[in-house]
Amino acid sequence: MSDEDQRMSQGQGAGEVTDAAVGSPPTGTMSAERIAMKALETRLLGGERKLRRREVAGGAGLSLLSARKLWRALGFPNLGDDDVAFTERDQAALNTVVDLVRTGKLTEEAAISVTRAIGQMTDRMVVWQIEALVEDMVHEQGVTDAMARKRLVNELPALVDPLEEMLVYSWRRQLNAAVQRLAVRAEAGLQASEEGREGDEDDAPLPLARAVGFADLVSYTSLSRRMNEKTLAKLVQRFENKCAEIISVGGGRLVKTVGDEVLYIAETPAAGAEISLALAEAFTRDEILPEARVAMVWGRILSRLGDIYGPTVNLAARLTTLADPGTVLVDSMTAAALDRDERFVLLPKEAENVRGFGEIQPVMLARGQGKGLVLD
């Protein structure tokens, strides 16, 4: 065994459950909780754990190093050579990825990147779903958080198949939507991508032109300090749900939420403007949530790892801090792209020195003609 393998085998990773961890009786008999957990594990993993990592790697015709790259991309914990941790389904999954590379459908680098996307997204999704189920049990059944988490082991078997079906359904719909966006861009959006922010040398090398927006709740930090766990959870969920709904209706994509802030993109300056105004208006009207500062910039970006990068993103973030509560700011180039659209009113403000960009001309975006986004 190599030095690295020895280091890998010294610790037990997250997600591995031992009899001691769940408090098995000293007599050797399993508790009801342990039996339920074991049955759920067997169902989720597709069988009993009976394979070691070298056996699975060898079965796929891979070196242990290559297999570990894929397992790490999926977010699997560190395992030792003696750990019986894998099932036949693990073997089949590894074979699937390896076959994609061997048949030339994916390069090894692409396979690892796609695998990492699956691992990271499903990990976040599972945590989100478990927390939602626990919170619902606490509210509806009147139990403690700890008791809800114990009961969840018995509740999950009835939910596994429906949730799995919804996951596959949603993935197919989202993949189709992404393909449609690619087609639209190929037919009508290439000109916009080629133009981007004309004359902006910092953005020129980046491939995609997009409207990038940020929405930031006002006074979130001070509010969160005064809230208990349940109230804060409701506020965060309300914020995320409202943002997701508005961005989706506006044809944009929610890139990520970080606490009190949401990052989103849209295909055109007008779509980005409609989403931005709708967000500012929605939070101003909301009886529970505070107002939001919103900013949107049209420019070039780099899209990688499910996130977006580039000066356009940074400028949108900087402008958000300059916006007054309940308002939307854009920069002068974005304002120029919206100038002839009667749906928007553009109100120039005093120039500001923005860190990393020098002097910038902020422009307040306001509602012009039309109703804006129509939410159900």
Model confidence pLDDT, tens digit, residues 57-89: 999 999 999 999 999 888 888 888 999 999 999
Pairwise CA distance, residues 15 & 77, whole Å: 7
For 336: left if phi > 0, alpha if psi spans -120 to 50, otherwise beta; the answer is: alpha
Instruction: Report the 10 Å Cβ neighbour count for 306.
Output: 11
Both 206 and 121 in a single domain? no
Domain-located, residue 376 = no
Helices 229-249/269-285 angle, 10° precision:
150
Which residue segment(s) compose the domain that 92 sits in?
Answer: 3-127
Please report, for residues 185, 187, 284, 356, the alpha-carbon distance to residue 334 in angstroms, rounded to integers and kept in the order given: 19, 23, 24, 18
Structural domains in the chain (count): 2
320, 209: one domain: yes
The answer to whether position 148 is within a domain reads no
Per residue in 326-355, pLDDT (tens digit) is: 999 999 999 999 998 999 999 999 988 888
- Is residue 220 domain-shared with residue 107, that is, in the same domain? no
Helix/strand/coil for 199: coil
Q: How far apart are the first and last CA of the chain?
A: 61
Model confidence over 289-328: pLDDT tens digits? 889 999 999 999 888 877 889 999 999 999 999 999 999 9
Q: Are 57 and 204 in the same domain?
A: no
Summarised one tens digit per residue, pLDDT across range 110-136 is 999 899 889 888 988 998 899 889 989
Do 34 and 22 contact (CB within 8 A), yes or no? yes
End residue of a domain, out of 84, 110, 127? 127
pLDDT in tens, 239-269: 888 898 899 888 888 898 887 889 999 989 9
**Model pTM above 0.85:** no
Is residue 112 in a domain? yes
Q: Answer yes or no: is 343 within a domain.
A: yes
Instruction: Say whether both 336 and 222 belong to one domain.
Output: yes
